[in-house]
Amino acid sequence: MRSVFVTAIWIIVSVVTPGVSQSEEKAGVRDKLIGSWRLAWDEEQAADGKMFRPEQTGVIMYTRDGHMAVQIMLPEGTNSKGSNPVKYDQGSYEAYYGSYDVDEAAHTVTHHVQGALVRSLIGKNLTRVYRFEGKQLILKSSRPDEHWTIAWEHN
């Protein structure tokens, strides 16, 4: 009888625990994203192939219910010198919003754009590879033809 009881407990723990830990793990990364982040630095590739860090300010926000928004502004009179194939800014300003999903196995967060200053982004799924370094959230494009990395710090 005791062995049946021990076996039953083992089965319950084996079945329930993986689902709980996976859920907690997903909530853990999602919880790390939640909140408002200010732009720490951005590194882009110029037309000549050299990497540079433009002076700009910005904010990205992730909500607990799965929404996000980002705004980035270059100094007045400055144009983006990045050579990326996707145009994200207009008039030295980048802004879009929508929902997001996290894929922990791939270490990606996908922004599902619902509205944007650059209208061609609307309806696009922008997948970003993420990592956390200290107090920073580091994002980069998952596209092999885009060469930029951006760091955010919690506000």
Q: Please write the tens of the pLDDT for every residue from 102-115.
A: 999 999 999 999 99
- Check whether 122 has a pLDDT greater than 60: yes
Please indicate, yes or no, whether residues 27 and 75 belong to a single structural domain of this protein.
no
Q: What is the tally of structural domains in the chain?
A: 2
Please indicate, yes or no, whether residues 50 and 91 belong to a single structural domain of this protein.
yes
Please indicate, yes or no, whether residues 70 and 142 belong to a single structural domain of this protein.
yes
The residue range of the domain holding 10 is 1-33
Q: How confident is the model at residue 5 (pLDDT cuts 50, 70, 90)?
A: very low
Please indicate, yes or no, whether residues 3 and 54 belong to a single structural domain of this protein.
no
Please indicate, yes or no, whether residues 82 and 145 belong to a single structural domain of this protein.
yes
Please indicate, yes or no, whether residues 73 and 148 belong to a single structural domain of this protein.
yes
Mean pLDDT, the chain, rounded, equals: 83
Burial string for 6-22 (b: 16+ CB within 10 Å, else e) reads: eeeeeeeeeeeeeeeee
Question: Whole-angstrom Cα distance, residue 69 to residue 98?
Answer: 6
Q: Residue 86 sits in a domain of what CATH number?
A: 2.40.128.280
Please indicate, yes or no, whether residues 27 and 88 belong to a single structural domain of this protein.
no
Please indicate, yes or no, whether residues 41 and 20 belong to a single structural domain of this protein.
no
State percent of the chain over pLDDT 70.
Answer: 77
| Strand intervals (E) in 106-147 | 108-116, 125-133, 136-141
Please indicate, yes or no, whether residues 66 and 47 belong to a single structural domain of this protein.
yes
The answer to whether the beta carbons of residues 135 and 18 sit under 8 Å apart is no
pLDDT of residue 87: 80
pLDDT of residue 14: 43
Q: How confident is the model at residue 18 (pLDDT cuts 50, 70, 90)?
A: very low
Question: Whole-angstrom Cα distance, residue 59 to residue 153?
Answer: 9
* Residue 116, C-beta contacts closer than 8 angstroms, at least 6 positions apart: 95, 96, 97, 122
pLDDT of residue 84: 64
